Structure 1
């Protein structure tokens, strides 16, 4: 059947500005007629602007299967055909993890990919939906591209789609041909969501070693009813031989089973409780699209994302992929604790500090300057792809642990603290606050910092003294491209840099504002690093942060929504 291309008149919608990783809004916003179409057309207009022959273009389409995805996929197929894209690689049932999409883009030399996810945000009819564009390197579009997409969305006056098109059966593997406007045609290739990603992992890790090791351990892996279910079942259970009860909540659901698919101590509390019972040696959880992870040891020992990054960085050469290539360097986002910096100091390698957002790691990875990077928001990854990768982190942990079989997860971390020192660290999230009040708080604090109006010395009510060393609004110059990024968070350092407090407005929410307060104190004494109490280090620092920022007064919140 051949159909015609239709040009639909439209008007811009306010606020189609991509955040840290794409455009995220409530489902009801995306359901407004033309809202999704406007944003997709803006992506296509920008990403295909310099392409001479669009019939040569391959785009990858997939997502976490959240509510509204099925409709969005059919819409995108229609619009790509109408914009003369030659070839779509679509995930079976539309479900493919974000790291797997990055792997497919790179493996197939695709022009880019459109990922349908709001990551760790809730799903369902009353939840969130999201769209982000990844470039040909497999990573999130950098600022200059997302800025261009946003600029286009503010002036768009038409979008293209097919006049009438039968629904493409994306549950059926294989090739489907769509014919339009005479001799125009587009191939839709439906692919297995796991295959190419699994082949990549087999080139990174020693699967034989992992099989032997996994057979001796009791695992508990929670997919949180997100995209990772098929990956856990196929890779952890079938390939590595873990017991079937190792995999929990592995059926992807449009509303994630009514849960918040965010792998932290609050939203993955069921897993934490199961681990505390002592029945399992290793636990992990993933977010909705599979790029974030949480690592737990026996009896619920929590490995902070910053410590996880540092332990992996210390031991990377235990993994075959890095043993052959060598470790080039490290990178972390500004709010992430400096635990990986301590590793860099001892290894003699460079550690780069970037703004929050995985896209800022892309140029460093492409230039071969770093091998591993991570964020405190439960994201870790390496140069094998250009996204953070939850399952990669789990297999990396198991691979390193397999070389230390007499240890536990907890003893590996404590051994690391004893050798490198410890960064006592916590994050307070104040979610869905009034936007204007939060912006006023940040502007007021920024003004105090710029005008040098912060007190030089602050005494806490428990007798601790904090001397302000340095305060600044974090900015970044990309060492590869020279691109500058400003206003990325407020930082106040104390006591010769041993303590930091940081404030950011998050770019991953869909409504209201989320204020993130980060608290960090280094402890270089090996005994105190191993035996100290987090509360003793963080609570007085939190009081100082709240007093300096007046956060509670501005937001009206007397406690955080989530503490990590």
Structure 2
């Protein structure tokens, strides 16, 4: 039996988890003792891991294999009974959530920085999921941060790495390590939710699709489900092999970073349907020939048509969206007569609603949607639901979108990201707008009148947990608004996110043109470009 080592360590500044765990530059995580200090804080914050079962995996980015071995040694040294690990230390975030729930695990650790770039110069992340399969709530992440500020030792084993390349069981000290196929259980779950026969028939009729896995973790999942189980043509899935640096790609499925896919869909002879996913498989982008579907619109369409898929034929108990996400789904919920919840940004805020049966579908503007099948957003799930809808309706993406806008009107929507700002500059913008909130109502700016302004606060309707300071909202006349908040997913400087929204019955036109007055009002009030010195946003979605 290998010796348990108790190693001394100094606390590290800044080990405060954000909306999806702790994310830092890879070099920071590789600093001696940094990962170990944080993981021991995680173990201690959940009451220790003695006798518990852990799920472990990630998106295969640089340092993930090494980090997995470190975490396994630490789990064994801290008395964990079993670790269920994806083969090659791979598991998409939704697959990890499913595996936690399927196997009754006590917790899971996902090694990913989601849509952030990978490689030695890129980003790394560690996220904790609890026994319901969902991200740790704020009370737990606050406990982790508090412990990380005082930690002085961690426990590990004096042992070599174990082989994670083949499925099967082995031991590490007294802990059983079970290495599992990372794809099979998830693919079986999808087969139980969607009409695979109808989708197979769609492909058999010549339906053409392109799925860009962006050299990230979704590649093996998409190949198994789309090409092998559903009969899509070989080569439908591109960039399908997970690479430690994502092949130099930025694994964020949006029009900026998936520009080649957008160009393909705007060219003559485009496929009937296209989609992309991100680093850890929890996001999605949807395209049709000449059509880009915004994330907020995608979520609204999924909610309006979910009943066409067998897994949701019973109807929806309710829907939930993050506050910055457009109100498009609100109109769907009203038409269906179901609850619509508005939460802070971060999938962890959907967990209680899902567990209590108050929401069936959840969505956020940053290309995330999911349902009560897991407790994470799920990119491939959203793509499969789109395919089920297209098969059932016998229409293309453009026709589905036009019908949706005809029924519910169109909520014109866009997000403008100002990335890698000095923290002091980003804070100056936020603080400047916050000081104006009380005096803004009644003011007319760029032809629009401010009808309300606040700093969003949320009280969970299930457990009563209160969360404040979740984004600055300015509501405008003509069914318009803008929202300004700091992102919690960056690793370099600060990212300001400006969300622009306007609703109308005429769905024709170009998004940025239709939002020009709202954008001008936001700049006049908040002064983002003036205060940051930026000519414009770094990314527009």
1:262-281 CA-partner distances (Å, limit 9, x unpaired): 00000000111112223300
Q: Does 1:540 align with 2:517?
A: yes
Task: Provide the residue aligned with 1:167 in structure 2.
Answer: 161
Deviation (angstroms), 1:394: 0.4
Task: Provide the residue aligned with 1:427 in structure 2.
Answer: 415
Runs of 4+ in structure 1 off by over 6 angstroms are none
1:105-151 CA-partner distances (Å, limit 9, x unpaired): 00001001000000000000000000000000000000000011111
Task: Provide the residue aligned with 1:48 in structure 2.
Answer: 47
Aligned mates of 1:290, 1:494 — CA distance in 2: 36
Aligned mates of 1:297, 1:44 — CA distance in 2: 45
Q: How does 1:510-521 map to 2 (within 5 A)?
A: 510-521=491-502
Aligned mates of 2:320, 2:253 — CA distance in 1: 22
From 453, 456, 464, the counterpart of 2:439? 453
Q: Work out the number of aligned pairs and report it.
A: 539
Deviation (angstroms), 1:457: 3.2
The unaligned stretches of length 5 or more in structure 1 are 180-184
Task: Provide the residue aligned with 1:297 in structure 2.
Answer: 288
| SS of equivalent to 1:245 | coil
Deviation (angstroms), 1:459: 4.2
| SS of equivalent to 2:515 | helix
The unaligned stretches of length 5 or more in structure 2 are none
Task: Provide the residue aligned with 2:224 in structure 1.
Answer: 234
Task: Provide the residue aligned with 1:178 in structure 2.
Answer: 172
Aligned mates of 1:109, 1:48 — CA distance in 2: 18
Do 2:26 and 2:121's aligned partners in 1 also have CA atoms closer than 8 Å?
A: yes
| SS of equivalent to 1:25 | strand
Aligned mates of 1:200, 1:250 — CA distance in 2: 21
Deviation (angstroms), 1:347: 1.1
From 130, 137, 144, the counterpart of 2:132? 137
Task: Provide the residue aligned with 1:438 in structure 2.
Answer: 426
| SS of equivalent to 2:522 | helix
Task: Provide the residue aligned with 2:89 in structure 1.
Answer: 94
Q: Does 1:281 align with 2:281?
A: no
Task: Provide the residue aligned with 1:182 in structure 2.
Answer: none
Task: Provide the residue aligned with 2:6 in structure 1.
Answer: 7
Aligned mates of 1:397, 1:391 — CA distance in 2: 10
Deviation (angstroms), 1:447: 1.2
Aligned mates of 2:196, 2:337 — CA distance in 1: 30
| SS of equivalent to 1:3 | coil
Aligned mates of 2:356, 2:338 — CA distance in 1: 15
1:388-424 CA-partner distances (Å, limit 9, x unpaired): 000000000000111111x210110110000011100
Task: Provide the residue aligned with 1:471 in structure 2.
Answer: 453
Q: How does 1:118-129 map to 2 (within 5 A)?
A: 118-129=113-124
Deviation (angstroms), 1:554: 1.9
| SS of equivalent to 1:314 | helix
Q: How does 1:315-330 map to 2 (within 5 A)?
A: 315-323=305-313, 325-330=314-319
Q: How does 1:110-125 map to 2 (within 5 A)?
A: 110-125=105-120
CA pair 365-455 structure 1, distance change in 2 beyond 3 A: closer
Aligned mates of 1:519, 1:544 — CA distance in 2: 10
Aligned mates of 2:116, 2:337 — CA distance in 1: 38
1:72-121 CA-partner distances (Å, limit 9, x unpaired): 01100100000000000001001110000000000001001000000000
Task: Provide the residue aligned with 2:149 in structure 1.
Answer: 154
Aligned mates of 2:287, 2:514 — CA distance in 1: 22
Aligned mates of 2:302, 2:362 — CA distance in 1: 10
Aligned mates of 1:533, 1:40 — CA distance in 2: 47
TM-score normalized by the length of structure 1: 0.94
Do 2:441 and 2:453's aligned partners in 1 also have CA atoms closer than 8 Å?
A: no
Q: Does 1:500 align with 2:488?
A: no
From 243, 246, 249, the counterpart of 2:236? 246
TM-score normalized by the length of structure 2: 0.98
Deviation (angstroms), 1:209: 1.2
From 552, 557, 560, the counterpart of 2:529? 552
Considering only aligned residues, what root-mean-square deviation do their CA atoms show, in Å? 1.1
